[in-house]
Amino acid sequence: VDERIVAPLNEMFKAMRAEGLQPLVCSGYRTIEKQHNLFEDDIKQQVRQGSTYDQAFYKAKEYTAMPGASEHHTGLAVDIVGKSHQSLNAAQARTKEAIWLAEHCAEYGFILRYPADKRDITGIAYESWHFRYVGVDLASKLYNNGDWITLESYFGITSKYN
C-alpha cells in the first residue's frame, strides 16, 4: 500500500482487534498487469457460464475495474475481509468485520468506496470489502449516518453511468 495509509490502516485494525475482530487485507496495491489478469479471468468465468464474450465483458465491468482504472493501482485502496470469511461475495457484507468497517472506517480516513445502491453513480456494484483512503476530513464528510456519499457525488462528477 501507499505509505500514507500504513499508520491509519494499522490504527483501524488495532481498534478492530481490540473488539475481538480479525481483519485481513486480501488485496492492496495491484499492478496494471495483475488487474488485466483479474479482469480477463472474470470474463472467462462468465463465458464458461454461458455468456457471449461481449456479455461477459460488460458483466465483468460491473465487479472488476478495467486495467488502468483500478483504485488499487494508487496504493490507496484495500480490500478488507474477516479471517472467518475470506470470500469476496454478498455474504461478506454480513460479517462482523464488514459491519464494523462500514460504521467506523471514516474515523480512520477510509470510505466504503462502492456502497450498496450506488452502482448507477460509481459504475461498480456494491463491494462491502473495498475501502479507499481519503483522509479523515473528507471521509467524515462522505459518511452520513450510515449512508455513504460517493466521491462522484461529492465532487460533482458525472459518469457515463448516470
DSSP secondary-structure letter at 28? -
Angle, vertex CA 66, rays to CA 61 and CA 68, nearest 5: 160
> Annotated catalytic sites, by residue?
127
How many CA atoms lie within 13 Å of 36's alpha carbon, on the beta-carbon side? 4
Residue 75 grid coordinates? 496504493
Q: Is 140 exposed, middle or buried (0-12, 13-18, 19+ CB in 10 A)?
A: middle
C-alpha to C-alpha distances, 55 to 19, 43, 63, 98, 108, nearest whole angstrom = 43, 9, 13, 30, 39
Contact, 98 vs 92, CB < 8 A? yes
